[in-house]
Amino acid sequence: MIGGASAAASLLPRQLRAGAQGDDQASHEADHAASQADGEARHGEHGVAMAVGEVDTEAMGYDPSVFLTDFDYGEASQIDDGRTLREYTIVAVDQEIEIAPGVFFPAWTYNGTVPGPTIRCNEGDRIQIHFSNAGSHPHTLHFHGIHSAFMDGVAGIGRGMIHPGESFTYEFDAEPYGCHLYHCHAIPLKRHIHKGLYGAFIVNPDPERHGELARKRHPDYAESEEWQEFIMVMNAFDTTFDDENEVYAVNTVAFHYMKHPIVIERDRPVRVYLVNVTEFDPINSFHLHANFFDYYDHGTTLEPTHRTIDTVMQCQAQRGIIEISFAGFEPGQYMFHAHQSEFAELGWMSIFEVVE
């Protein structure tokens, strides 16, 4: 967001504006006072400027702390050729969501939440997505992966637009293994994506095809059990509909994992499936404090594409897998955030709480 700050700020609660204008001493002090009155825990003497209060996750029917580890393997059955068929049901619905305390956004959603369900399966599985459009606009489901052109979920190609009231079953084999995504491909694309029609699509590598290294990423193998896995979708919201974002997050709710740090068992490795769907800003990033990590671009390799880095950037729809070890580290809070400071101060800031 460039230049839209003051217009946007007038529509945000005072606390979030204070967070957005951290250099302004008066608002900064007001933020401190409001925060202390609220009994909000502060991080450090100077504090981290962020929205105070809580989003009502129960009313919204979406809790980022639950979403983090909620992988949907669908309804599994066996088909004639011996493979596994996985069926998923996705309904597009218009749904208001709360993205920061008191900040509501009129989203278009898959199954009522932003992001939609994290669809996960094993490489080679047959996938059926039973899609219905109960929303107010035509939508599609466009998966990143290898599949027939007819099933691509793009306006004017194959089955094309699914109009309100219509249904269609998308069907394909899960290829290639990796960390992918799905989203609506209706026109205008930037509006349909930014309104909330996206989710992650994870395909576990098959150890029988790719060897031992694949085992640590496949739930049927003991080597995967020690891993602490999380899905993180970097997203943002244009609350004023001027093609600039006012609120940034991982998994939708600004500062959620600052207020509810992600607990990590120190001596078990961490794997983050990271997806960037941020609209309007060309690049987002993930930066970890006090540690380094390995990165697998698109998740389509079993050897890291970057080793020992502490920051990785992704353009829109880029994604990858981050692997972190805190083994032997001092227990405590390890921050991670977008290294675009503006995004961090407007909500994309989080904490790993590393415990022994």
CB of 186 to Cu ion, least distance (A): 4
Residue linked to tokens 């932003």: 114
142 or 337: CB nearest Cu ion: 142
| Size of site (CB under 5 A) for Cu ion | 5
Report the C-alpha gap between 133 and 162 in whole angstroms: 7
Inter-residue contact 105 to 64 (CB < 8 Å) = no
Considering only the stretches 76-84, 95-103, 136-144, 263-271, report the one whose residues sit in contact with Cu ion under the rule CB under 5 A.
Answer: 136-144
Inter-residue contact 200 to 233 (CB < 8 Å) = yes
For position 142 contacting Cu ion by CB under 5 A, the verdict is no
For position 277 contacting Cu ion by CB under 5 A, the verdict is no
CB of 115 to Cu ion, least distance (A): 14
101 or 116: CB nearest Cu ion: 116
197 or 231: CB nearest Cu ion: 197
For position 139 contacting Cu ion by CB under 5 A, the verdict is yes
CB of 162 to Cu ion, least distance (A): 9
CB of 252 to Cu ion, least distance (A): 17
Considering only the stretches 46-54, 110-118, 132-140, 201-209, report the one whose residues sit in contact with Cu ion under the rule CB under 5 A.
Answer: 132-140
For Cu ion, the binding residues in 168-207 under the rule CB under 5 A are 184, 186, 192, 197
49 or 184: CB nearest Cu ion: 184
108 or 296: CB nearest Cu ion: 108
CB of 139 to Cu ion, least distance (A): 3
Which tokens is 210 given?
A: 């790719």
117 or 205: CB nearest Cu ion: 117
CB of 133 to Cu ion, least distance (A): 9
Report the C-alpha gap between 257 and 242 in whole angstroms: 27
CB of 297 to Cu ion, least distance (A): 27
CB of 109 to Cu ion, least distance (A): 10
186 or 288: CB nearest Cu ion: 186
Q: How would you class 89 by CB atoms within 10 Å of its CB: exposed for 0-12, middle for 13-18, buried for 19 or more?
A: middle
142 or 271: CB nearest Cu ion: 142
Contacts with Cu ion by CB under 5 A lie at: 139, 184, 186, 192, 197
